[in-house]
Structure 1
Amino acid sequence: MNYVIIVLVGILGSVLTYYVNEHLKQGAVRASALLALIVGLFFYIFPDVLNEYLSKSIPIVFIGTSFIGMVASHSKGSYLRLALAGILFSVIYINKGNFFNGYGGALGTIAFIALLTTMAISNAFSKRKKAKKKIKSIKEKVFKKNKNSQ
């Protein structure tokens, strides 16, 4: 159950930051900082609301995924892509073990990996759809040309 909560926090962190950034026009840094401050203060003031693992991990995951939500809208940010990047960030965070211990910038690095991977996969699928449409239109043109020549 802890992992499901961490994944949900990952989705919320990226999507809410993007929403505050783009729709409330607060800017990427202000949106990330404001939301991270709210979540961090909540768990600082009420550390016993959830179990120890969640009280420690939720602010960290939220801050990390807020970095994902800082993506600019002109880089084709969409809520689905941000949610998937938040999920990927959470999965990496849960399974990271000691790999990033002592490594400065681990949250930003994981956020970068998650967002870049999600964007690459999304881009690959969109190019595949465009290629299929192009092939279909070429086939239709060839079929019409063959039909007219007979």
Structure 2
Amino acid sequence: METFIVLLTGIFGATITFFINCYLAYGPVRASSIASLATALFFYAFPNLFPDFYTHTVPLVFIGGSFIGMVSYRVMKNVWLVPLSGLVFSFFYINSASFFSGYGGALGTAACISIIVVLGFYRILRLFKLKYKKQRSL
């Protein structure tokens, strides 16, 4: 259950920040700040509402996901790539959190890696799709 909550938090953090950033036109820094502050204040105001794991982990994962949501819609032209990047970030966070222990900027680095991975796979799939269409038209 904990893993599922972490995955949903990464997806939600990226998506809500992207929405505030691009569709409400607040800009990337304000969007990330608004969403992250609201989440952190909620868990700070109600620390006994959830188990300790969620109180400490969810705000961190949400902030990392919000870094993904700071991406421009010019870079992420397909909206579904943002939640997918949030999912990749969450998997990355779950599997490598101990690797980045003591390393400053770990959340931003993981968010950047997640965006690069998703965009890379997306572009590779587009290239294969174009190549396949050319072969079929011959």
> 1:77 Cα shift?
3.8
The answer to whether the 8 Å contact 2:100/2:106 transfers is yes
Distance 1:77 1:86 in 2: 16
Question: 2:108 corresponds to which residue?
Answer: 108
Q: Does 1:19 align with 2:36?
A: no
Q: How many correspondences in the alignment?
A: 138
Aligned-residue Cα RMSD (Å) equals 1.0
* TM-score, normalisation: structure 2: 0.96
| Aligned CA distance change for structure 1 residues 50 and 26 (closer, same or farther; 3 Å) | same
Question: 2:130 corresponds to which residue?
Answer: 130
Distance 2:5 2:91 in 1: 12
Distance 1:77 1:13 in 2: 18
Identity between Structure 1 and Structure 2 (%)? 40
Q: Which amino acid aligns with 2:37?
A: L
The more displaced of 36-45 and 89-98 is 89-98
Which segments of 5 or more consecutive residues in structure 2 lack a partner in the other structure? Answer: none
* TM-score, normalisation: structure 1: 0.89
Distance 2:59 2:97 in 1: 18
Q: Does 1:2 align with 2:2?
A: yes
The more displaced of 77-86 and 128-137 is 77-86
Which segments of 5 or more consecutive residues in structure 1 lack a partner in the other structure? Answer: 140-150
1:90-105 matches, cutoff 5 A: 90-105=90-105
Q: Which amino acid aligns with 2:29?
A: V
